[in-house]
Amino acid sequence: MRQIRPVELKAWLDDPQRPAPLLLDVREPWEFERCHIANASLVPMRSLSARLAELDPERETVVICHHGVRSYHVTRFLEQNGFSNVINLTGGVDAWAKEVDPAMPLY
């Protein structure tokens, strides 16, 4: 399984030469409302199976949650369902806030 640290993701997002990945946030709506990475798409983990057809299995996709545990499981699930370009955000939005965006609220 591929993993990426927040600072690596930030560098990727800031690089105009690289196509931006889909930022797939799998937290609950209340968590997403509290804080999220800009341009992330919310698909809560509990509804992922029903919404799988909305996702492109070929697109680079970074899976995001609070601390990286749910996103780890979702990344594995996606890999098992034919998604070849999925990456887990290690440490989740909590690590993003601590390493990249200190203005982001923590919870």
Positions in the chain short of pLDDT 70: none
Residues in CB range of 102: below 8 A, 6 or more apart: none
List, in order of start, the domains of the chain with CATH numbers: 2-99 (3.40.250.10)
Cβ-based burial of 24 (10 A; exposed 0-12, middle 13-18, buried ≥19):
buried
Tokens matching residue 42: 């919310």
| Active centre residues (catalytic) | 65
Phi, psi of 47, rounded to the nearest 5 degrees: -110, 5
Enter the pTM of the model. 0.97
Q: What would the pLDDT profile of 49-72 be if each residue is shown by its tens digit?
A: 999 999 999 999 999 999 999 999
Tokens matching residue 48: 């992922």
